[in-house]
Structure 1
Amino acid sequence: MGGSATDEERPGSAPRCLPIAEHGLIGDLRSVALVGTDGTIDWYCCPSFDAPSVFASILDAKRGGCFELAAAVPATTKQFYFPDTNVLITRFFTEDGVGEVQDFMPISGEKVEADRHRLIRRVVCVRGSIPFSVRVAPRFEYGARPHTLRMISGVALFQTAALSLALTATVPMEADGPDARADFKLAEGESAVFALDQVGGEVQPRGCARLEAEEQFTTTVAYWRRWLSASKYRGRWREMVHRSALTLKLLTYAPTGAMVAAPTTSLPEELGGVRNWDYRYMWVRDAAFCVYALLRLGFTGEAEAFMEFVTRHVSPGDGKPSGPLQIMYGIDGRTDLPEAELDHLEGHRGSAPVRVGNGAAEQLQLDIYGALIDSIYLYDKWAKPISSDQWDDLCALVDWVCEHWDQPDEGIWETRGGRKNFLYSRLMCWVAIERAIRMANRRGLPADLPRWRQCRDTIYRRIMSRGWSESRQAFVQHEDGDVLDAAVLMMPLTKFIAPTDPKWLSTLDALTHDLVSDSLVYRYDPTASPDGLRGDEGTFSICSFWYVEAMVHAGRIDEARLAFEKMLTYANHLGLYAEEISHTGEQQGNFPQAFTHLSLISAAFNLDRALG
């Protein structure tokens, strides 16, 4: 791909690959960038979440590409978010001064500017003087496609047939093979600006002067603060709850209202393992839970945008069947998400394979009906009533559930070890029907209520008889089995069972004994319940927050609060969480994970209310 020196080739330099948690997140509601604590952008896809990467050194330090910007002398660093925003500040402390890099992506309602996908890196020396160095080394198409670099009137133009990026700066840059470099020194009060734009068509290269960068900084800060001001949460954990809300907003694709499960692919659930998946899509389940969390806080706009996506792409009508629903969609609503492995990338810290696309899109997961209809029920109750057409679509979904709930599926954890009669899938089918009955009764809407009630009650009896293990004295993972599964923590949270029911309290005790480690909760034991994959995984953070909430409802408030406070200590320095936590306390899996942050919001809300 050109003649630039790689990190490995530089004298005295070793390949860098920061841990997953050593990153912050910025974005423009179309894509995001991960910025390491050393000031390097390690992940960026342009122009959208699920586009091929431009920077992917988090997956391969040599071939992935990166945007380095750091003090050129030994420095310690600290990162924080500008208060109540998604503007990220990385500070460099050196012997001769203190500097900072302000990273953000402006959010524009104007189409041409939105299509620019501008990424601004503003460098400021706040004390003394500091030399800085910058290297911009894009590697297009996940590092597989060579590009050309042309320096034109101070603009570095990186080009492939599919994508062109223009880098402008307020300091002189020079070409270094396929990369652009600069070295500069700032004295106290001085600044430099780097702006990376997608260009082509109506979007032409345009510099970003210091004054414009300052104006864009102010505008971006104002946007995020204005958005966050709609939050109704005033509880004890306001900072963590609001950081989670800001993160969920960053995972929203504004053009369609879709929400991605995470903005990354193939960050491993176990270092060196194969449980590496692409999460840059809209899972119906995850997005529906996000709607619940954001509605809890008072953000109705995101819920409305999600409802529009559901109506357009998911609900029956226009020839679309009422089932089985596809479990995930592209952020533009597409249904074809073929899974492939990128053999030329070594994976995060050697954790291959790197995958793009997701074969789980073809799985049967019956639980998504419950998550979807519950979110519609809450939207109808807390935001605004659904339309008559939307009600007709919902009825078609419920009728399908009534006909098809009694079959094995792959379940919430997307196991690849064969279909089973998962209790959680049955539970959420019950939720789908029960919430629809509530809506019909509350609004007097037409429905086949006798049939719905009979089916709801049949599912209830089935769970209570075949989902309960006498030997374990607990509700279990699948019918007629004895394996425990943290997904059953949702039983009291969905109001299926009273949170103080003796059978539930016995289940909670069994889960605590078998799956909980220092407040952290494993999904299940893969040795007791093979899931078709080799290797282990960490504790699953959404389950840890479900556990907190289940204890709150069971009246174990002190235990719940301690478990919640412990979970907060596992967040990274910015309050962000990946999907899992390793036995050493490290973040594992795709990052940041919507599932984790939405469950944090729900747990904090309910715990705070219980504490009074």
Structure 2
Amino acid sequence: MSVAPTTPRFGQERVCPIADYAFLSDCEAGALIAPDGSVDWLCLPRFDSPSVFAKVLDPDAGFFRVGPAETSVPVDRRYVPGTMVLETSWGTRSGWVIVRDCLLVGPWQAERPEQSGWRRAPVDRAARHVLLRTLRCVHGEVEIAVECEPRFDYGRLASHWEFTEGGYHELVARPTEPCDGARELRLRSDIRIGVEGGRATARTTLREGDLRFVALGWDAWLPEDYDEAYRTLVETAHHWQHWLDAGRFPDHPWRAVLQRSALTLRAMAYAPTGAIIAAPTTSLPEAPGGSRNWDYRYCWLRDSAFALWALHSLGFDREADDFFFFLADVLGGGAVQVVYGIGGERELEERTLDHLRGYADSRPVRIGNAAYKQRQNDVWGALLDAVYLHVRGREQLSVDVWPNVREVVEEALRRWREPDRGIWEVRGPERHFVSSKVMCWVAAERGARLAAYRGEHELERRWLAAAQEIRAEILRHGCDERGVFTQAFGSRELDASALLIPLVRFLPPDDERVRKTVAAIEEELSEGGMVLRYRPERADDGIGEPEGTFTICSFWLVSALVELGELERAGELCERLLAHAGPLGLYAEELDPRSGRHLGNYPQALTHLALINAVLHVARAELGLDATSLPFGRPWPEVA
């Protein structure tokens, strides 16, 4: 199954392919920039705030373009190496100009002040709350156009511009009515700016050697001149490069791929709390024209084990600690749910924005996510695996966290027999999903290990017995007559989440059922080497519409093949998947197996986490490193 490979459009208007967008971040807010130099997505002041630019979802929902007046197709785009600073090179008939874009952060601080108590403060608040765009003419002359048209509150409200004491070089934009999110934006430039209705505009000709800047801010500070703008851009570049230097990356041809994914994950961490968002966007469709359009600007707990393993494995222990402290706060804040706001918010009311046309006319556009109310029993295992990984890496378990850990294990043991919505958050009927049962086993098994670490042997024995009971039930009802793990008890349908079975150590990779399951998924759920999460036309997921292959699942297959000793095939598949990265090394949630087009919210954290997992699996196996250095490199539990 695949979606049509036609170019996405708003009616008859061509829209930017998802993978062509650049992603900028200051670890509090994120922006998407199209190849033509237009900022088509920016929510302020947080990742999950209402948008001020949302052209990606509707051509009339606001944008901010800086680039040559006579062309919209750049010669080259790249990130400045080791940074989240975008560099775009433009060639015209009369000259060449380079534009650099970033959300300002820095200067980088190597050490964080010690905090009292068992928790440290979250990552340093280094965001400057400025979108900076610098221009340098390197040859000839180029006419430059600046257009900035904010539309506040997801495009509902136009902007009203007023000049400040800075004359024609500084303006303030405010929404025409009170609204949530950013209350005003300030635009400053050394280019003379005018106003046309709700749009700030400028035209100027740059000649060889000319330097200019445009800065959009939503706080008190903006650079005064080009020199100050350039200095802060350099500080931002150094901030990212110094952060990356603290990591550990294998000496392997895919080292740069790992570094770009690490930077992308860091850019999706909300610095004030340490929460990692699933993606900085909402409602980018899983199939153009379809209704699988969800808001991913929140923190899913099931990603936590992957996130902590990736951060620790790459040497970013401080960021892993920050995320763990966010999880600890969640554990201590009442009944555990599947997804939270980036500030720890528990209610994420889902609603539709009917005034927006949606990406390529894909409706509805949603904000909020009703999954926060769903029952998804795999969350207990994700949390316990995350705690176990943290304790294993840090060799300590806070007495403040342990009571909450105990409650999570006990809740898993109370709920594991109940049906739920599963890892894919289906909106059809609840079922006894195999992956949910496996993760309940993870909760009990990891809980027993943590109890042993604390010397609470009665709990250890009871939780190990519960883990054995859960395993026996899964082996009895979760395999079909072929010996293949299915999507749910009593079903013959396959689910790619079964690829996690060897990765979470439910069964060893040489178990015949694991080998048959991996082979069946390769044969029945793969298209062009890429893996569907399941067959929507056969599974009652409450929607039933087509979707692309899930890149997450494809990378899981790479990791599973390495576990099975199929290193050559794993390397070939991983190389093929890496070739499908967007032009800037980023991934959305899904890929169309025929066209290679990226689908779904972008960039997708779990995809980049699965990429890191897979690449390190392959790299470490090729480099002959000890198996305990592999992802989830725990001692194998006894298997009945």
- Both structures adopt the same fold (TM-score exceeding 0.5): yes
Cα deviation, 1:31-84, whole Å, max 9, x if unaligned, reads 1111111111110001000000010001011x2110011111235432100001
Cα distance change on mapping 1:336 and 1:167 into 2, 3 Å: same
Of residues 15, 18, 25, the one that matches 1:17 is: 15
Structure 2 residue aligned with 1:178, among 198, 206, 227?
198
Q: Distance in 1 between matches of 2:20 and 2:304?
A: 26
Q: How does 1:222-261 map to 2 (within 5 A)?
A: 222-236=238-252, 237-261=254-278
Q: CA deviation at 1:443?
A: 4.6
- Residues in 1 aligned to 2:98 and 2:456: alpha-carbon distance in whole angstroms: 58
Alpha-carbon contact 1:286-1:595 (below 8 Å) kept: yes
Q: Distance in 1 between matches of 2:93 and 2:337?
A: 56
Q: Does 1:268 align with 2:285?
A: yes
Q: Does 1:140 align with 2:152?
A: yes
Q: Distance in 2 between matches of 1:54 and 1:451?
A: 54
Q: Which residue of 1 aligns with 2:170?
A: 155
Corresponding residue for residue 282 of structure 1: 299
What is aligned with 2:338?
327
Deviating 4+ runs (over 4 angstroms): 108-116
Is residue 218 of structure 2 the alignment partner of residue 198 of structure 1?
A: yes
Cα distance change on mapping 1:533 and 1:131 into 2, 3 Å: same
The 5 A counterparts of 1:90-129 are: 90-108=88-106, 117-129=129-141
- The reply on whether 1:72 has 2:69 as its aligned counterpart is yes
How far 1:445 sits from its partner (Å)? 4.7
Q: Does 1:336 align with 2:319?
A: no
Structure 1 residue matching 2:278: 3-state secondary structure:
coil
Residues 377-416 of structure 1 aligned to structure 2 (within 5 Å)? 377-416=388-427
The alpha carbon displacement at 1:120 in A equals 0.3
What is the rounded CA distance, in whole Å, between the counterparts of 1:286 and 1:191 in structure 2? 43
Mapped contact 1:116–1:198 kept (Cα < 8 A): no
1:435 to 432, 443, 446: 446
Aligned-partner SS, 2:308 = helix
CA distance in 2, matches of 1:158, 1:374: 47
C-alpha distance in structure 2 between counterparts of 1:578 and 1:27, whole Å: 16
Could you say what secondary structure the match of 1:481 adopts? Answer: coil
Task: Tell me how far apart the structure 1 counterparts of residues 125 and 421 of structure 2 sit (CA, whole Å).
Answer: 43
Q: Which residue of 2 aligns with 1:370?
A: 381
SS in 2 for 1:468: coil
Alignment of 1:579-590 (within 5 A): 579-583=589-593, 584-590=595-601
Segment of structure 1 superposing worse, 220-229 or 230-239: 230-239
How many percent identity over aligned positions?
40
User: How far off is 1:208 after superposition?
Assistant: 3.6
Structure 1 counterpart SS, 2:517: helix
> Does residue 481 of structure 1 match 2:496?
no
Structure 2 gaps of 5+ residues are 1-8, 109-122, 624-640
Once residues 212 and 112 of structure 1 are traced to their aligned partners in structure 2, the CA distance between those partners, rounded to angstroms, is: 22
| Counterpart-to-counterpart distance in 2, 1:103 and 1:447 | 58
Question: Quick one: which of 20, 26, 29 aligns to 1:28?
Answer: 26
Query: 2:588, 2:433 → 1: CA distance?
Result: 26
Secondary structure (helix, strand or coil) at the match of 2:444 reads helix
State which of 459, 462, 470 in structure 1 corresponds to 2:473. 462
1:492/1:137 Cα in 2 relative to 1: closer, same or farther (>3 Å)? Answer: same
Q: Does 1:54 align with 2:68?
A: no
Give me the whole-angstrom Cα distance separating, in 2, the residues matched to 1:427 and 1:112.
37
Matched, 1:560 2:575: no
Q: Deviations over 1:426-454 (max 9, x none)?
A: 11111111112222324535661222011
8 Å CA contact retained: 2:588, 2:599: yes
Q: What is aligned with 1:425?
A: 436
Indicate conservation of the 8 Å contact 2:150/2:158, yes or no.
no
SS in 2 for 1:389: coil
CA contact 2:142–2:207 (8 Å) conserved in 1: yes
1:217 paired residue number:
233
**1:409, 1:543 → 2: CA distance?**
21
1:353 counterpart letter in structure 2 = P
User: Contact conserved, 1:37 with 1:78, CA < 8 A, in 2?
Assistant: no
Q: CA RMSD in A?
A: 1.9
Q: Is it true that 1:601 corresponds to 2:588 in the alignment?
A: no
Once the 2 structures are TM-superposed, how far is the Cα of residue 15 of structure 1 from its aligned partner? 4.6
Unpaired segments ≥5 residues, structure 1: 1-7, 9-13
- Partners of 1:403 and 1:209 lie apart in 2 by 62
Shift of 1:481: 1.2
Bigger drift between 32-41 and 383-392 goes to 383-392
1:193 deviates by: 0.4
CA distance in 2, matches of 1:120, 1:384: 42
Number of corresponding residues: 588
Contact in 1 for aligned 2:531/2:551 (Cα 8 Å): yes
The answer to whether the 8 Å contact 1:193/1:208 transfers is no
- State the alpha-carbon separation in 2 of the partners of residues 208 and 244 from structure 1: 34
3-state DSSP of counterpart to 1:408: coil
Indicate the SS of the match to 1:469.
Answer: coil
Q: Distance in 1 between matches of 2:223 and 2:460?
A: 63
1:168 matches 2:188: yes
Task: Give yes or no for the alignment of 1:501 onto 2:511.
Answer: yes
Task: Provide Cα deviations, 1:504-545, integer angstroms capped at 9, x if missing partner.
Answer: 111111111100122210000011112111420000011000
The residue type paired with residue 214 of structure 1 is Y
Q: State the Cα deviation string for residues 235-254 of structure 1 (Å, max 9, x = none).
A: 42111111000000010000
Q: TM-score by structure 2 length?
A: 0.89
The amino acid of 1:515's aligned partner reads L
| Aligned amino acid, residue 391 of structure 2 | D
Contact 1:412 / 1:424 at 8 angstroms: preserved in 2?
yes
Aligned pair partner of 1:361 in 372, 376, 379: 372
Give the aligned partner of residue 3 of structure 1: none
CA offsets 1:440-491 (integer angstroms, 9 cap, x no match): 3245356612220111000110111100000x43100001211100000000
Question: Structure 1 residues 247 and 388 mapped into 2: Cα distance closer, same or farther (>3 Å)?
Answer: same
**Structure-1 separation of matches of 2:74 and 2:235:** 30
Letter in 2 for 1:187: R
SS at match of 2:400: helix
